[in-house]
């Protein structure tokens, strides 16, 4: 069953993502999951979810230390034995998606980037996300 915890006026409108994704969330700058939308929740204890999201935020923060040398990270795809994750740094934090394994991650990333850039344009920002 889908649970919609995203703000109605937020970057993410869960129903657009849930056809291809199992779980979508925004991880804030402190590494905490702020909003989530899902068909299938991630099967982990609350403590493990917190550790997972804090680890992603830490990795993102450490990667940004090399922005001057390599440019900023637009997205990361993590392929695991049983899961595929896409993380996209945004102004709101990290957008994390647990993607269905049958979906092409690069096509999905383009879809996310288009949606995020449109949201940025609506917010009257001249800076794109992806």
The answer to whether residue 63 is domain-embedded is yes
The per-residue pLDDT for range 39-64, each reduced to its tens digit, is 878 889 999 999 999 999 999 999 99
Written as six digits, the tokens of 64 are 């940004």
Domain region containing 25 = 3-122
The answer to whether residue 82 is domain-embedded is yes
Helix ranges restricted to H, the chain? 14-17, 46-64, 67-70, 105-122
Q: How far is CA 98 from CA 7, 11, 122, in A?
A: 20, 17, 26
The answer to whether residue 24 is domain-embedded is yes
- Domains identified in the chain, total number: 1
pLDDT at 28 over 60: yes
> In angstroms, how far is CA 54 from the centroid of its own chain?
13
The answer to whether residue 127 is domain-embedded is no
The answer to whether residue 52 is domain-embedded is yes
Lowest-pLDDT range, 26-30, 56-60, 63-67, 118-122? 118-122
Distance (Å, rounded) from C-alpha 82 to C-alpha 36?
21
pLDDT of res. 81: 92
| CATH code for the domain of 19 | 3.30.450.30
Distance (Å, rounded) from C-alpha 12 to C-alpha 15?
9
The answer to whether residue 128 is domain-embedded is no
pTM above 0.85, yes or no: no
pLDDT at 75 over 80: yes
User: Which uninterrupted H or E stretch holds 4?
Assistant: strand 3-4
């Amino acid at each position: 069953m889908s649970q919609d915890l995203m703000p109605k006026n937020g970057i993410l409108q869960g129903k657009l993502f849930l056809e291809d994704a199992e779980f979508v969330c925004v991880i804030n700058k402190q590494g905490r999951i702020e909003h989530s939308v899902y068909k299938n929740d991630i099967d982990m204890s609350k403590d493990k979810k917190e550790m997972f999201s804090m680890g992603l935020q830490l990795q993102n923060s450490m990667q940004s230390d090399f922005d001057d040398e390599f440019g900023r990270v637009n997205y990361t795809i993590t392929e695991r034995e049983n899961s595929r994750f896409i993380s996209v740094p945004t102004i709101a934090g990290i957008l994390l998606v647990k993607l269905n394994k049958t979906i092409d991650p690069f096509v999905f990333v383009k879809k996310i980037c288009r949606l995020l850039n449109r949201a940025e344009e609506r917010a009257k920002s001249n800076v794109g996300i992806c």
